Amino acid sequence: MTDTLKISDLHVAVEGKPILRGVNLTIRRGETHALMGPNGSGKSTLGNAIMGHPGYEVTGGTIALNDGNVLEWDASERARAGIFMAFQRPMAIPGVKMADFLRHATTNVRNPDRKEGEELIPMRQFRKELTENMEQLRMDVEFARRYVNDGFSGGEMKRAEILQMAMLRPKFAILDETDSGLDVDAVKLASESIAQIGSDAGGGEKMGILIITHHDKLLDRNAPDFTHVMLGGRIVETGGIELARELYTDGYDRIRAAYPEAAAAEESMTETATV
């Protein structure tokens, strides 16, 4: 059976304020999904809720990974079950070296039943893999010795997120605006790397990928099987790659006109957001 991540009628509130209002989305391994939508429509909220951010309260609906009830797991357990998210704004952890953090993370994700204090993956093997992946992403080896996201440029942060995806080899990856803040060449490299990493989640199997983006470049190499449009905390329309093409050339006017109820919700959300 193909691994499946199934989100049904998901409602999420942030600080008591409803943001997602009934999201349905099913991703199978091997599929690439694009998620588009205006700023503030709830795309990052969906990603954070899937990853288990404690600030995003699920007030209704379900998230299932095959038979597993994802909502019962904390973020760590979700990561170990094979869910990954490259964040739009990754956190800095001063004083913690990328390499130390990644070795720990990689060990836990590959050996989900590892108890605290048990052996980490051997240094030699880890180094080799890390170096290979960094070369692939054209990152300087020095990078591994820097503190996690501390003083990174926008581009470095995004690259570091892709590096983590490469090391952790999840079953499902959510990429939240991994192309923003990158120059043209860097987006091209990111796009290629994601395609390459996504094609092998270990054992020759592909990942299921959800790409949140406003641009076409990331989708060049990662042609979506499905494109979803989010508006006012709901997925209002789903199509193929042609829908993505329409949106990044024409914008969301047609969508807003076609779904007045979601457009109204969007307006009320942005009003409260700007207060």
Partner 1 sequence: MATDLTQDSTTSDAALGEINKYDFITPSHDVFKAEKGLNAGIVAQISEMKNEPAWMREFRLESFKIFESKPMPNWGGDIGIDFQDIYYYLKPTNEQGRTWDDVPQEIKDTFDKLGIPEAEKKYLAGVKAQFESEVVYGSLQEDLGKKGVIFTDTDTAVREHPELLREYFGKIIPPSDNKFAALNSAVWSGGSFIYVPPGVKIEFPLQAYFRINAEQMGQFERTMIIVDEGAEVHYVEGCTAPMYTTESLHSAVVEIMVKKNGRCRYTTIQNWANNIYNLVTKRAMAYENSLMEWIDGNLGSRLTMKYPAVYLMEPGARGEILSIAFSSKGQHQDAGAKVVHCAPHTKSRIISKSISKNGGRSSYRGLCKVEDGAVGSKSNVVCDALILDSDSRSDTYPYIEVEEQDVQVEHEASVSRIGEEQLFYLMSRGLTEAEASSMIVSGFIEPLIKELPMEYAVEMNRLIELQMEGSVG
Residues forming the site for partner 1 (CB under 8 A): 51-55, 74-76, 78-80, 84-85, 87, 90-91, 93-96, 100-102, 104-106, 108-109, 112, 116, 147-148, 164, 168
Distance in angstroms (rounded) separating the CA atoms of residues 83 and 174:
8
87 contact choice in partner 1, Mg ion, ligand ADP, none (CB below 5 to 8 Å, kind-dependent): partner 1
94 binds, among Mg ion, partner 1, ligand ADP, none (CB under 5 to 8 A by kind): partner 1
User: How remote is the C-alpha of 218 from its chain's centroid?
Assistant: 13
Cβ distance to ligand ADP smaller for residue 68 or 181: 181
Site string for ligand ADP, 210-249 (x = CB under 6 A): ----------------------------------------
Instruction: Write each residue from 121 to 160 as x if it is in contact with ligand ADP (CB under 6 A), else as -, in one continuous string.
Output: ----------------------------------------
d(Cα 227, Cα 187) in Å, to the nearest integer?
Answer: 20
What is the closest distance, in whole angstroms, from the C-beta atom of residue 37 to ligand ADP in the complex?
A: 6
CB-based contact 165:225 (threshold 8 Å): no
CA–CA separation, 268 vs 134, rounded Å? 44
Contact between 76 and ligand ADP (CB under 6 A)? no
**19 near ligand ADP (CB under 6 A):** yes
CA dihedral 207, 212, 217, 218 (to 10 degrees): -20
Closest to ligand ADP by CB, 50 or 182: 50
First to last CA, the chain: 48
Rg of the Cα atoms in the chain: 18
Closest CA to 210 of 16, 41, 38, 48: 48
Taking CB under 6 A as the rule, does residue 45 contact ligand ADP? Answer: yes
Cα dist from 1 to 28, 67, 88, 110, 117, whole Å: 10, 11, 32, 21, 34
37 touches, from partner 1, ligand ADP, Mg ion, none (C-beta below 5 to 8 Å by class): ligand ADP
Three-state DSSP class for residue 5: strand
Which residues are at the interface with ligand ADP (CB under 6 A)?
14-15, 19, 37, 39-45, 55, 269, 273
